[in-house]
Amino acid sequence: MNDQPSPPQDSSTTTHFGFRDVPVGDKQKLVGEVFSSVAGKYDLMNDLMSLGIHRVWKRYFVATSQVRRGDRVLDLAGGTGDIALLLRDRVGETGSIVLGDINGEMLRVGRDRMTDQGKVSGFEYVQVNAEKLPFPDASFDLVTIAFGLRNVTDKDAALREMNRVLKVGGQARVLEFSEVTADWFKPVYDFHSFKVLPVLGRLFANDADSYQYLAESIRKHPPQAELKGMMEAAGFARCRYRNLSAGICAIHTGYRV
């Protein structure tokens, strides 16, 4: 019998997928499978996870973005186009929105939604990895990512890329589920996340596992102060965050200098 302790696992070769440790190279594929599964019910997913409040958060996120007419905006993890639609009216006919997502199914859902609503001009659709953006330096006035950063394997690389493609003075905005601040609410939130949400996912989307992962991914995402520090390390200036709904989610902002 070998009583020697097992060698420590090389953390540089693994990352988290929910509460599981998986090889770094596998996470993108696993996350892709989740979002391919839920793409057709993405809005339902967010309704179940946020009790419908995500629609208010998104409107506030865009309304406070300081975006102007004529601006060029990159909306990463653009999904079904909620943020892009809200931004479109604000940038006007002279502005443009690039809706980017790493998942082709999500991108198709967003494009089809825009087309069905007659929203065609001013939109571009690009399948992109946020860690390696295919855009020149200083291409955008604003970069947004809503409920997507927590699913990125290398968040530091994605933040550096967001900074790179911004024009000087341009703003990056991150809307993401975060760490609840009220102690009394944490047990309620945990019960909803880990007991209620997977059941609702099974009932309404026939997919409990994906919803279980999504709840776990929120807990593994860096809390507010840590994410602010990551943005500063990525080169952003004037970084700050605002909690929404007692920290269920937060808006982080930073500027290119």
CATH (domain of 251)? 3.40.50.150
> Does residue 131 form part of some domain?
yes
Q: What pLDDT score was predicted for residue 18?
A: 66
> Does residue 118 form part of some domain?
yes
> Does residue 43 form part of some domain?
no
Q: What pLDDT score was predicted for residue 10?
A: 43
**Residue 4: pLDDT over 70:** no
**Residue 103: pLDDT over 70:** yes
Residues in Cβ contact with 39 at an 8 Å cutoff, skipping those fewer than 6 apart: 80, 103, 105, 106, 108, 109
**Residue 106: pLDDT over 90:** no
Residue 50: which pLDDT band, with cuts at 50, 70 and 90? confident
Residue 142 host element (H or E) = strand 140-146
> Does residue 73 form part of some domain?
yes
- Residue 117 lies in domain: 16-36+52-181+222-255
Residues in Cβ contact with 194 at an 8 Å cutoff, skipping those fewer than 6 apart: 212, 215
> Does residue 64 form part of some domain?
yes
> Does residue 5 form part of some domain?
no
Q: What pLDDT score was predicted for residue 105?
A: 85
> Does residue 107 form part of some domain?
yes
**Residue 39: pLDDT over 80:** no
**Residue 250: pLDDT over 70:** yes
- As annotated, the binding site includes 80, 101, 129-130
Residue 17: which pLDDT band, with cuts at 50, 70 and 90? low
Spell out the long-range contacts of 12-21 with Cβ–Cβ below 8 A and sequence spacing 24 or more: 15/153, 16/220, 17/213, 17/217, 18/212, 18/213, 18/215, 18/216, 18/217, 18/220, 19/216, 19/219, 19/220
> Does residue 7 form part of some domain?
no
- As annotated, the binding site for S-adenosyl-L-methionine includes 80, 101, 129-130
Residue 2: which pLDDT band, with cuts at 50, 70 and 90? very low
Give me the chain's average pLDDT, please.
87
Mean pLDDT of 121-128: 93
Q: Quote the number of domains for the chain.
A: 1
| Percent of the chain with pLDDT strictly greater than 90 | 56
